A and B are shown apart, each in its own frame.
Chain A
């Protein structure tokens, strides 16, 4: 199980984690979990690489990454890559509860990518889709599409899965046919 980050910001609805390497992060839409108690599960919805110091901004150098590594090695120490995850579930007594945890994960706990079995379990119901749809400040439609791709990859032989989830989406977007159609077309 490879560690993909360390929590640097935490709240009930989600958490932010620092990647160990600049530019590396679990992909958008990926299912991740913390090693805190309780274990909290989330969906990566934003990946940011920026200056560590809010008062300093990266400047263009006009050099390739290899040249920069040879001749300006300090800049890689001054940047950070962080990703934000939307909390979709937590574990309680060996089972998964599809609601917000009673207490968010502590700062400095580690974040890991979920295993195939965990992704399958977390996406078995449409609760995560409802969480995405009801969350402000996340790219809702794209996160639905990307997380559903992860969910489908985890259950390669379940051909009816996307159809089931499509039906859920039809219910969620019953008042917005254009949006539903855009999501479904992009999922196909």
Chain B
């Protein structure tokens, strides 16, 4: 139970504090915009410095002037969007069986004279030891929520490929997934688990590349700061920045701090003035991409009208202007149709979502099935007390 009487004064305090910071923050955004314009003139210099520097943050790799904008290409009259999303029921140790469920929502939208839609969801139930356990640094341990989340993300990509393979007319088809194409959460995991996810993911990407279906990861309201971090390297007076040997730590404020806290989204809301415009393409420097082979991930920002979104694409989409333009225009059109968020993704989400009552019913079905077959079912007292709270 949430005590709103106690909570509200805390929210009020937060608002008061934020008001004070607001003006300073606007100045920070202005400064980052000025920096962006300044660095764009000599983008090769900063590109080189970024390449040599070692920072604790992710830096955007630079391929051209940073403040370039690209207007919206014309959308082909006939096109197809495939999208997937997933949700899950995590294992609950208070329940009768150690198991979990992944539900994949899948959407195909054909636009044009033959307009039609296919919306589906596919639940997969994991209960066998090989599904329930994960090989983690040579040992078999139960899959926890982070393992299941990565498996789910992989299944979303595999579903996109299944839809692409099923589709007979692949002309002007774009595959969209919700969120990043970068499995950055795998950084720091043992190589056996990394391989379990990355190898099949690379196969999906190889096949989509063969089919010439651009794939894009769509991130709404992104909090990323890759470009801002690059500008911070620009602000650093050192010829090459090595954060772990920073000579300015004794100063009251680091030379790179004045734009700290600004996000790329805030910066590009100044750069991209018209809905439909996209930014230059930048390279992600995530460590995990070392395992991506030919599919290194790049990104651009896109003015949706309602917000600035981040769109991630693999290298082969960047290298093929036709595919890049197709992804650009189709994603913008999708967001327009969906009131600021791609309609294919919101429908995929609706298909995938597992509501709290579905979760309860899922465990009810398992318990009921076991009891009917004369299995002894034990539920923890905690699980029981949550189900039937006493007064």
Cβ contact within 8 Å between A73 and B113:
no
Instruction: Knowing A53-B350, A77-B117 are in contact, say whether A72-B112 is a contact too (CB < 8 A).
Output: no
Complex interface: chain B residues within 8 A of A73 (CB): 109-111, 115-117
Q: How far is the CA of A125 from the CA of B152 in the complex (A)?
A: 62
* Chain B min CB distance to A64 (Å): 13
Cβ contact within 8 Å between A70 and B111:
yes
Chain A 68-112 interface mask (CB, 8 Å, partner B; 1/0): 011111101110000000000000000000000000000000000
Q: Which residue of the partner chain, among B115, B118, B337, contacts A69 with CB atoms under 8 Å?
A: B115
Q: How far is the CA of A73 from the CA of B344 in the complex (A)?
A: 11
Complex interface: chain B residues within 8 A of A56 (CB): 350
Cβ contact within 8 Å between A74 and B112:
no
- Judged by a CB distance under 8 angstroms, whether B58 is at the interface is no
Residue from A53, A71, A74, A77 whose CB has the most chain B CB atoms within 10 Å: A74
Cβ contact within 8 Å between B111 and A71:
yes
Closest B residue to A72 by beta carbon equals B337
Q: How far is the CA of A56 from the CA of B347 in the complex (A)?
A: 12
Complex interface: chain B residues within 8 A of A69 (CB): 115
Size class of the contact patch on chain B: 10 to 19
Instruction: Knowing A53-B350, A71-B337 are in contact, say whether A76-B113 is a contact too (CB < 8 A).
Output: no
Complex interface: chain A residues within 8 A of B347 (CB): 74, 78
Complex interface: chain B residues within 8 A of A76 (CB): 117
A-facing residues in B104-125 (Cβ within 8 Å): 107, 109-113, 115-119
Q: How far is the CA of A77 from the CA of B108 in the complex (A)?
A: 11
Cβ contact within 8 Å between B109 and A74:
yes
Complex interface: chain A residues within 8 A of B112 (CB): 70
Closest B residue to A69 by beta carbon equals B115
Q: How far is the CA of A128 from the CA of B107 in the complex (A)?
A: 46
Cβ contact within 8 Å between A70 and B113:
yes
* Chain A min CB distance to B379 (Å): 30
Q: Which residue of the partner chain, among A70, A72, A77, contacts B119 with CB atoms under 8 Å?
A: A77
- Judged by a CB distance under 8 angstroms, whether B50 is at the interface is no
Q: How far is the CA of A76 from the CA of B109 in the complex (A)?
A: 11
- Judged by a CB distance under 8 angstroms, whether B46 is at the interface is no
Q: How far is the CA of A74 from the CA of B344 in the complex (A)?
A: 8
Complex interface: chain A residues within 8 A of B111 (CB): 70-71, 73
* Chain A min CB distance to B343 (Å): 6
* Chain A min CB distance to B387 (Å): 24
Q: How far is the CA of A71 from the CA of B347 in the complex (A)?
A: 15
Q: How far is the CA of A72 from the CA of B107 in the complex (A)?
A: 13
Q: How far is the CA of A77 from the CA of B115 in the complex (A)?
A: 12
Complex interface: chain B residues within 8 A of A53 (CB): 350
Cβ contact within 8 Å between A74 and B110:
no
B-facing residues in A23-73 (Cβ within 8 Å): 53, 56, 69-73
Q: How far is the CA of A78 from the CA of B107 in the complex (A)?
A: 12
Q: How far is the CA of A167 from the CA of B247 in the complex (A)?
A: 105
Cβ contact within 8 Å between B119 and A74:
yes
Q: How far is the CA of A71 from the CA of B114 in the complex (A)?
A: 10
A-facing residues in B314-351 (Cβ within 8 Å): 337, 343-344, 347, 350
Q: How far is the CA of A69 from the CA of B107 in the complex (A)?
A: 16
Cβ contact within 8 Å between B115 and A71:
yes
Q: How far is the CA of A70 from the CA of B109 in the complex (A)?
A: 10
Complex interface: chain A residues within 8 A of B110 (CB): 73
Q: How far is the CA of A5 from the CA of B88 in the complex (A)?
A: 34
Complex interface: chain A residues within 8 A of B109 (CB): 73-74
* Chain B min CB distance to A144 (Å): 41
Q: How far is the CA of A68 from the CA of B268 in the complex (A)?
A: 33
Closest A residue to B343 by beta carbon equals A74
Complex interface: chain A residues within 8 A of B343 (CB): 72, 74
* Chain B min CB distance to A68 (Å): 8
Q: How far is the CA of A71 from the CA of B337 in the complex (A)?
A: 8
Complex interface: chain B residues within 8 A of A78 (CB): 119, 347
* Chain B min CB distance to A57 (Å): 13
Q: How far is the CA of A69 from the CA of B110 in the complex (A)?
A: 10
Complex interface: chain A residues within 8 A of B337 (CB): 71-72
Complex interface: chain B residues within 8 A of A70 (CB): 111-113, 115
Residue from B107, B110, B116 whose CB has the most chain A CB atoms within 10 Å: B116
Residue from B107, B113, B117 whose CB has the most chain A CB atoms within 10 Å: B117
Cβ contact within 8 Å between A74 and B113:
no
Q: How far is the CA of A74 from the CA of B119 in the complex (A)?
A: 8
Q: How far is the CA of A129 from the CA of B117 in the complex (A)?
A: 43
Q: Contacts A73-B109, A74-B119 given; 18 further ones with Cβ under 8 A?
A: A56-B350, A69-B115, A70-B113, A71-B337, A72-B337, A73-B111, A73-B115, A73-B117, A74-B109, A74-B117, A74-B343, A74-B344, A74-B347, A76-B117, A77-B117, A77-B118, A77-B119, A78-B347
10 contacts between A and B (CB under 8 A): A70-B112, A71-B111, A72-B337, A74-B107, A74-B117, A74-B119, A74-B344, A76-B117, A77-B119, A78-B347
B residues apposed to A, CB below 8 Å? 107, 109-113, 115-119, 337, 343-344, 347, 350
